[in-house]
Structure 1
Amino acid sequence: GNLADERVLIDFSVQGGRNPGYVGDGMTSDLDGNLYVACWCGSRVLKIDVKAARIVKEIWLPVPQITSVAFGGPQLDELFVTSAATNLYSSSKIEGLDHKQPPGSGALFRVTGLGVKGRGSPKFVLKD
């Protein structure tokens, strides 16, 4: 298909006049149409109001490499966040840089109390 009404919602190269040092990775949306974007090298998930094209919430996590997000739970009101067990700087030889992988890297996190419901994932049946 073709893109229609193409526009930039958030420029990850510049925010608040500076480079934030992270990039968007996996994403999902809630029933209100807000996007939840995992931030690789950012220790956070951004909630983006698509209509206003602005970040309305940052959900901080204790690990740097956030990879993806999905709503789940019986009411689709829990946000599940995956992270990578990779430390980008582990092979770096930069003096003074902490080369250890932070505790919890590679974990699956469950975020509750957001007050929103997500969209369910598409379902399919794989036939033999």
Structure 2
Amino acid sequence: MRGRESKGKEEEPGYLSFAVPIDDHTDKFVLGVDKKIIIIRWNSFENKFHPDWGLLETVDQTIPSNILTYGTVDNLGRLIFGTMNTDGLKLANISSLNFKLDLKTHISGFAWCKGLVVDTYSPQSKWYLVNSDRHYNLLAYNYQMRNGRIGSSQAVFDWTQQRMTGSLRRLTVDRDGKLWIALDGGHGIIRVDAKGRNIMKYVGMPVLSVGACTFGGPKSDILFISTIPSFHENHNGQKDKGGSIFAVLGLGVRGLPTKGFRLLQNIIESKLP
């Protein structure tokens, strides 16, 4: 990619952790790359390897071993993102970036944000976090969306009590407030009722590890599932199809519409002139 900060030199590719659209801009997106949050201009109908980009923020500059792992957007257009510590130290965090690029850290003291989703459709907004330090259990945080404050947390799903393989990874939420969670090493995804603390549905996949899932399509009723490459055979003795993206239809549920990151126009113009 070529950016204003690169002074004409081509940047080395980094670890891409997330991509979210910019609100009201069909050709602009925000990406997490290593420690950088960047904005790019990208036409999805063109195959362009080095799109124009600009730097919005560099996170955790005082912690060299921290990198971005996941990002999403809440109903007010704030960017919510998590990090991981590649040395396994409890120095990772969950932070947010608003339309003026004000950076705020909300949760800290863990090693890896494996998955994060903001449920703004339910009567009481919550953050759901997969915490690698607590046996990959699912934690729920009360969320005051108007002021962006995070309240107390509680474990709402104990993975250690489930007789299943693998561990919880990235997740999404449907309009019924139920969570769809990818299983790393678990051959599929699960639908979880956080209030009842139980698994409602299991969808098997021809892969060992599922990376993430999200709803899409014109009616937000298609579950798109990304998977992780593996050199092992799957549980049916067939070749693992990890590395593929699958679309699952007919689940009888709908997801939440995709939210765009709201960013001041003058900031967009300064980063992508």
TMscore range, shorter length: 0.7 to 0.9
- 2:155 is matched with 8
> How many residues are aligned here?
116
Note the residue ranges of structure 1 that are not aligned, 5 or more in a row: 91-99
- 2:214 is matched with 70
Shift of 1:50: 1.8
Distance across 2 between alignment mates of 1:86 and 1:101? 12
Instruction: In structure 2, give the amino acid aligned to 1:41.
Output: G
* Conservation of the 8 A alpha-carbon contact between 1:27 and 1:37: yes
Shift of 1:31: 0.6
What's the secondary structure of 2:170's corresponding residue?
strand
Instruction: In structure 2, give the amino acid aligned to 1:10.
Output: F
- 1:97 is matched with none
Distance across 2 between alignment mates of 1:14 and 1:49? 15
- 1:112 is matched with 249
Corresponding position: 1:46 with 2:190: yes
- 2:261 is matched with 124
Q: Residues 33 and 102 (structure 1 numbering): CA distance in 2 closer, same or farther, change over 3 Å?
A: same
Deviations 1:79-118 (A, max 9, x none): 000101134x69xxxxxxxxx9934211001000011110
Q: Which has the higher helix share?
A: 2
* Conservation of the 8 A alpha-carbon contact between 1:9 and 1:54: no
Distance across 2 between alignment mates of 1:45 and 1:103? 16
Distance across 2 between alignment mates of 1:110 and 1:48? 19
Distance across 2 between alignment mates of 1:57 and 1:116? 12
Shift of 1:5: 4.5
Note the residue ranges of structure 2 that are not aligned, 5 or more in a row: 1-105, 108-140, 142-150
Q: Highest Rg: 1 or 2?
A: 2
* Conservation of the 8 A alpha-carbon contact between 2:208 and 2:230: no
Using structure 2 for the length normalisation, give the TM-score. 0.39
Distance across 2 between alignment mates of 1:47 and 1:76? 16
Q: Which has the higher strand share?
A: 2
Distance across 2 between alignment mates of 1:38 and 1:120? 19
Q: Residues 103 and 22 (structure 1 numbering): CA distance in 2 closer, same or farther, change over 3 Å?
A: closer
* Conservation of the 8 A alpha-carbon contact between 1:27 and 1:69: yes
Distance across 2 between alignment mates of 1:21 and 1:60? 12
- 1:94 is matched with none
The counterpart of 2:165, out of the listed 10, 21, 27, is 21
| Alignment RMSD | 2.5
Using structure 1 for the length normalisation, give the TM-score. 0.79
* Conservation of the 8 A alpha-carbon contact between 1:22 and 1:40: yes
What's the secondary structure of 1:36's corresponding residue?
strand
